[in-house]
Amino acid sequence: MMKLMLCRRALCAALALFLFAAAFPPPQKAAALAAYGRVIERDVGFYKDPQAEELLFYLPYTYYVKIEDGGESIVRAELFGSGYSTPAIDGYVYADELYFEEDPPVSPFFEKTLTTCAPAGFYADSGGVKLIRHIFENRTLKLYGYVYGADGSFLYFADYNNELGYVKEESVYPFEFTPHPTPLPAAEEPEIPPEETPAEGESGLGLKIAVIVSLILAAALILAFSVRPAKKREADGEEGAYNDNEYR
């Protein structure tokens, strides 16, 4: 009988653990399941370091990055690669600034060749101070993105003869960042005011509490039914012994 009681208790505990795991699955990284991340906000940074502290440039709006390694807050991403005239470059992007897609998009990157309109400086820093070299007029550079100068004008981050650096907006012929041909994902519908519906966090917390309470009650009932018959039989035995002695 004791073995049966232990088996029932073990079964109860296993059932409770199973239901708890089903109610609270481990979080899944959205970026880890995606092949590409789309830039759906303006001035999304592309960083040099894994901590996303050293900005290289801002990504062209409405275009994509290829996800190389997904993360909870920061993802490692690539621009261009094989099949493109612009050399590939790796960097890091904040995950919450991207819209993740599993299917490869058509023409994911903004390919643009810049042409100098006058002798230009090619700089190592986004401030346009540390000069790498001078570039003659009518030379071409491959664009990656942009940063803002102190006066609000652009500096473009580009490749020039397999060397990376910045060139000032005034030194190249004007152009526009034409949007990607694929429409942006539809904006989410506005949330209903809190007085009309509970907040998502509160409703989720309430559901979790209800699940936990249900598990505790279920475990208590199973334990009660597994223990109660044994106590009844023990009591009956004691009563029978007492009656036998009384009539002797």
Domain chopping of the chain, boundaries = 111-176
Tokens representing residue 49 in the block: 């370091």
Give the amino acid at 75.
V
The per-residue pLDDT for 186 is 80
Tokens representing residue 124 in the block: 């190592």
Residue range 111-176, CATH number: 2.30.30.40
Tokens representing residue 127 in the block: 């401030």
Q: Which residue in 236, 227, 234, 217 sits closest to 4, CA to CA?
A: 227
The pLDDT profile of the chain, 248 residues, written as one tens digit per residue, is 555 555 555 555 555 544 444 444 444 344 545 799 999 999 999 999 999 999 999 999 999 999 999 888 999 999 998 889 999 999 999 999 999 988 889 999 999 999 999 999 999 999 999 999 999 999 999 999 999 999 999 999 999 999 999 999 999 999 999 999 999 988 655 566 666 555 555 556 667 777 676 777 766 666 665 655 544 444 455 444 445 444 44
Helix (H, G, I), strand (E, B) or coil at 200: helix
Task: Tell me the sheet residues that pair with 65.
Answer: 37
In whole angstroms, give the CA distance from residue 200 to residue 248: 73
Phi, psi torsion values for 94, nearest 5 degrees:
-70, 130
